[in-house]
Amino acid sequence: MPRKVVQGPIRDKEKTKQKLLAAVGKILRVKGYSGLKVSKIAAVAGFDKKLIYEYFGSTDKLIDEYIKSQDYWSKINQNIEVDLSDGGKEFTKQAVLNQFESLKKNKELQKIILWELSESKPILRKLVEQREEVGGMLFENITDPYFGEGAVRYRAIMALIISGAYYLNLYTGYNASKFCGIDLKSEEGRDEVQKAMVELIDFAYNKK
């Protein structure tokens, strides 16, 4: 006899929530953030919109949960496990290189970053604050003690590296393939940028 699949309120609720979250991603990828309306999300997911309010409380809370699930820095501690005895040097290299490649592949996250840059909304400010909080904890617990008086300078270097990773991916994803003559849609071009990131991190640690 075929194995019977156990159903129930908890299982069904979780499946429904995942479909609603997936609908947010699909709309964001195809229509952009202007398409994130309650009726559209419900229609794409194939459910009555009242389930959005029942399971998430509001459309904003649904979108907020989706955004947090996509944000790279909000999940950083889940993605990297390395020895921190070097003051976070190897951790930092892995983090920025993974971010660079993660953003290239994640079109939904690209849309979210563009949304952050073009509109001022509580839901986006909350994400920015959460991202800063995670970053602040990493700095305070890993690199600040190592760099001491030079901690702020190190943070400034990291700000340039991380923002550069964002910009280069967004620029080449929406407008062109080359930046400073480097083809960032080619494996060779991206490798050169990654090497430069590693060299800048090495520079920061060697100048401690």
Least confident segment among 24-28, 158-162, 197-201: 24-28
Distances in Å between the alpha carbon of 161 and those of 49, 116, 121, 141, 155? Answer: 42, 19, 26, 20, 10
pLDDT recorded at residue 120? 84
Point out which residues pair with 182 in neighbouring strands.
179
Mean pLDDT for 63-71 is 88
Note the pLDDT tens digit of each residue in 29-54. Answer: 888 888 889 999 999 999 999 999 99
User: Residue 11 pLDDT > 70, yes or no?
Assistant: no
pLDDT recorded at residue 1? 45
User: Residue 145 pLDDT > 80, yes or no?
Assistant: yes
Point out which residues pair with 183 in neighbouring strands.
178
The CA distance from 150 to 143, in Å, is: 10
Q: Which helix (H) or strand (E) holds 179?
A: strand 178-179
The CA distance from 75 to 204, in Å, is: 25
Least confident segment among 79-88, 106-115, 183-192, 193-202: 79-88
- What residue ranges do the domains of the chain occupy? 9-67, 71-206
Q: What confidence category does residue 163 fall into, taking pLDDT thresholds of 50, 70 and 90? A: very high
Residue whose entry in the numeric block shows the structure tokens 């990773």:
165
> What is the DSSP secondary structure assignment for residue 38, as one 8-state letter?
H
Fold adopted by 9-67: Arc Repressor Mutant, subunit A (1.10.10)
Note the pLDDT tens digit of each residue in 82-126. Answer: 788 999 999 999 999 999 999 999 888 888 888 888 888 888 888
> For 2-10, which contacts have Cβ atoms below 8 Å and span 24 or more sequence positions?
none
Token couple for 39 = 């009726």
Mean pLDDT for 3-14 is 58
Percent of the chain exceeding pLDDT 70 equals 92
Neighbours of 181 (CB within 10 A): 6
What is the amino acid identity at position 28?
L
Neighbours of 33 (CB within 10 A): 18
85's CB contacts (< 8 A; 6+ apart) are none
pLDDT recorded at residue 3? 44
